[in-house]
Amino acid sequence: DIYDNGSNEILFSKVLKDHRNELFLCTKFGIIRGPNGEFSVSGKPEYIWSGLYRSLLTIVDTIGALAELVKVKYIGLSECSAETLRRAYKVHPIAAVQIEYSPWTLDIEISGIMEACRDLGVTIGRYKSIDDFKSDDFRRLIPHFQGENFNKNLEIVHKFNEFAEKKGVTPGQLCLSWILAQGDNMIVIPGTRKFKHFEGNVEAVKVKLSSEELVEIRQIINSIEIIGNRYNDFFMK
């Protein structure tokens, strides 16, 4: 229900059936789309049984229902708090947490999520695409990218462009390699619509950053204030 009401999963199935042992696929549930396009959040056990989607119950009930599903090998959370993660983990081991983490979104370092994941041995998966925005692009709803916020936040992009050019890599590769350098429990989830960008993202695993370079990158990040929230008011709930 997160990605076009399951259409993307159908698309993935065409590839997955011939390469099942080569791929590790994660899917999300919990967002219900109304008849007029409105969103709500759900995760009831009966909804999970009917399609692994929808709920208004506590995280304990949701995780308990997932744990009972023999078809679910691993359970992950998306956009949760450190408290929610720790509560869920007491019910059933959580394999991964998907949440935004990038040079301009360091929230998980402050909120306690990164610390909780390390304490519990939970993998952190990050996501966000940097492709140009179309008129119906969801990111147009995100304050980070709106009006003067976007122009101000481009400052860190320019700094990373300069650093990447000196390093001989693309800005995207630099960002991905920086994230991977933050810990062994990090998995990047880069988005792209072009195959050449996909190939470039894969090459990021070969980019090695020295301790001096990591310090310099952190100084760049700390010197620039990022304006705006990660989501609009509804999705920040």
Task: Give the residue extent of every domain in the chain.
Answer: 1-73, 75-237
What pLDDT, in 10s, does the model give residues 19-77?
777 777 777 776 666 777 677 766 666 666 655 543 334 555 656 666 665 456 778 88
The predicted pLDDT at position 53 comes to 44
Q: Which of 171, 162, 177 is nearest to 197 (CA)?
A: 171
The predicted model gives 94-100 an average pLDDT of 88
Is the pLDDT reported for residue 129 higher than 60? no
Q: Does pLDDT of 124 surpass 60?
A: yes
**pLDDT band at 169, cuts 50/70/90?**
very high
| Average pLDDT estimate for 132-149 | 68
* Assessment of whether the complete model's pTM goes beyond 0.85: no
More confident residue, 208 or 187: 208
Asked if residues 43 and 55 have their Cβ atoms less than 8 Å apart, the reply is: yes
3 catalytic per annotation: yes
Catalytic residue, chosen from 3, 47, 89, 231, is 3
pLDDT for position 167 = 94
Residue 113 has a pLDDT of 92
The percentage of residues in the chain with a pLDDT greater than 70, rounded to a whole number, is: 68
Residue 189's pLDDT is what? 80
The per-residue DSSP string of the chain comes to: --SGGGHHHHHHHHHHTTSGGG--------EEE-TTS-EEE-B-HHHHHHHS-B--S-HHHHHHHHHH-TT-S--EEES--HHHHHHHHHHS---EEE---BTTB-HHHHHSHHHHHHHHT-EEEEEEE-SPPPTT-GGGGSGGGSHHHHHHHHHHHHHHHHHHHHHTS-HHHHHHHHHHTT-TTEEEEEE-SSHHHHHHHHHGGG----HHHHHHHHHHHHTSPPPS-SS-TTTT-
- The CATH architecture assigned to 75-237 reads Alpha-Beta Barrel (3.20)
pLDDT at 75: 84
* Strands lying side by side in the sheet with 123-129: 76-78, 96-98, 123-129, 186-191
Q: What is the pLDDT of residue 185?
A: 86
Report the mean per-residue pLDDT for the chain: 78
> What's the pLDDT at 130?
43
Q: What is the pLDDT of residue 3?
A: 63
Q: Say what the pLDDT of residue 61 is.
A: 60
Tens-digit pLDDT profile for residues 181-207: 998 888 888 877 788 888 888 999 999
